[in-house]
A and B are shown apart, each in its own frame.
Chain A
Amino acid sequence: MPPAEPSVLSAASSPTPGQSAGAPALRLRHCTKRYGDLTVIDGLDLDVPTGQRLAVIGPSGSGKTTLLRVIMTLDKLDSGTIEVFGDPMGYRRVGDGIVPDPRTVRRARARIGMVFQQFNLFPHMSALANIMEAPVRVLGRPKEQAREEALELLATVGLTDKANAYPRELSGGQQQRVAIARALAPHPEIMLFDEVTSALDPELVGEVLRVVRALARDSRMTMLIVTHEMNFARDVSDRVIFMERGRIVEDASPETLFTNPASERTRSFLRAIIDR
C-alpha cells in the first residue's frame, strides 16, 4: 500500500456541507487527558486524512483506548482541541481564542461511529432492533426503510438468519458482528474500532476480522483501529502509530513500522508481542 500523504487523500473525501476544503477527517492538537495523577494522553497531535485506515498499537495503558474515547466524546479532554472534518468539537472559535460549546459535540458525534471491546449490544432488543434503533430514533428514518437497510447490513456481516435473535442467544463473535452492523447503520464517516476482538474466544476472532477487512476494502470511511492483532493491523492499514504513555512514539507505513521500525521502543514492543 502507498505511504500516507495527507493532502492527496483528503481531496477525495465525500462532499459535506460546512467542511473546510482539504480539512482532514480528524485533527487533534495538544490533546491531554488525565485521570487524577495519571496523564493518559500527553500533548498529542494527530492528523487523520479522510479515508485513511489508521492502526493504533501499543502496550496497555499507552492511551490508545482513551484516544478513541475522547474522539467519540465518551470522555472529555483536559486540554487541546479536536476538529472533525474541520468543524470544532466541543468548542467554538471566538476571535483568536476558543469558548466551550456543547452543541458542537452532537454535530461532530453524528459523523463518528464506534465498535466496543465488550460489544455493548442492547440485551433487551433483537439483533435487528439493535441495528434499527439509531436510524429510527435518532435520524428519524421510517421504520420500513430502516428495517430493509438493517437486513442488508446483517447480510454484509453474514448474520441474516439471526435477525430476530437476542444477544444472549448469540456467540461473542456473532454479537460483535451485530455491533459492527449497528455502528454502520447511521452511515458514519469515521469508524472507531476499540480492540474489537480482545474479548473473544480465539476461534471467534477470525469471523470478526473478516468483516473489518471487508469494510476496509469496500467502504470509503475513515477507520481508526486499535488492536493487538499485528498481522491484521499490517494487512488492513495504510498507516500505523505506536503509542506509549500517552504519546505517539512512531508513525509510519505498516511496511516500515513492522519490518524496520525506527524507534527502539517500537522494536522491543513488537519483539515482546511476536515472541509470545
Chain B
Amino acid sequence: MSAFDLLPALLRGAQLTVVLAVAAGALAIAVSFIAGLARLSPVRPVRMAVAVYVEVFRGTSALVQVFYFFFVLPLIGIQLPAFAAGVIALGLNFGAYGSEIVRAAILNVDRGQREAAIALNMPPALTMRRIILPQALAAMLPSFGNLVIDLLKATSLLSLITLSEMTFAGKMLVQGQGRVTEVYVLVLLIYFIIAVALGRVFKLAEQRVVAGLHLGPRR
C-alpha cells in the first residue's frame, strides 16, 4: 500500500475544491467591482449601504457566515443547497475584502489623471471607464491574486456543510482507513500545488496587463 491509492479519492475532492473556488471567485470578483465602485458613488445612501455590507462581512468570521447561510437561511424561508450556500457565503465574504482592493486601487490612481480628464470635459463615467479603471487594474491584480488563494483555502470550510471537496474527502479517508499522517500530508501538498499554480497565473496576468497597458517603467 502506498500513498498513491489515496490519490484518486483526494483528487476527486480536489476537483470540487477547484469548482467551488472558481464559482465563489467569480462571484467575489463581480461583487468586488460593484461594491468597490458603489462605495465611491456620490450618492450618500448608496455609499452607506455598501459600507454596512462590507463592514458586516469583513467583521464576522467566514465560517460563521457559511453556517449562517446553510443553517439559518432555511429557517427564514430561503432553502439553499449546500453548494449554493457555500459559494454565495464565500463569494460575499471575499467580495467584501475585494471591494476594498478595488476602491483603494482606484483612489491610488494619480490625481492628475482625473484632473486632465476634467480639463478635457470628460464625464465621470467615461473617465472611470477609459482612464481610471485601466490604470487601477494593474494595481489590483497582486492583491486579487492573494485573495483568490485565500479563497481556495477557505473552500476547506465548506467540508463542514457536507460538501465533498478535498478536506471532506480527506476526513472520509481518515475515518475509513486511518493513515492520518499520509492523508493530511497529501491533502496539504495538493492544496499547496494548486495555490502555487494560481499564484503563477496571477503573476502572468499582472505582467500581461502591465505590458498591454504600457504601464511599465520608463524605457
Contact = CB atoms under 8 A, between A and B. Distances in A.
Given A109-B121, A124-B135, A138-B126, A116 B116 contact: yes
A256 B217 CA distance: 47
Interface residues of A, number: 29
Nearest to B138: A124
A101 interface: no
Interface centre among B118, B121, B130 (most CB of A within 10 A): B121
A120 B121 contact: no
- Range of interface residues on B (Cβ < 8 Å): 20 to 34
Contact of B122 (A113, A118, A124, A138): A138
B219 A168 contact: yes
B134 A124 contact: yes
Interface in B60-80: none
A114 B119 contact: yes
A137 interface: yes
A116 B115 contact: yes
A137 B116 contact: no
Contacts, number: 71
Given A106-B121, A138-B123, A169 B219 contact: yes
Given A122-B113, A137-B126, A138-B126, A72 B217 contact: no
A40 interface: no
Contacts of A44: none
Nearest to A110: B121
A124 B215 contact: yes
B48 interface: no
Contacts of A119: 112
A74 B122 CA distance: 13
13 contacts: A72-B119, A110-B121, A116-B116, A118-B112, A121-B116, A122-B113, A122-B116, A123-B213, A123-B214, A134-B121, A168-B219, A183-B120, A186-B120
Cβ-closest 9 pairs across A and B: A120-B116, A120-B112, A124-B213, A134-B120, A114-B119, A166-B214, A168-B218, A109-B121, A110-B121
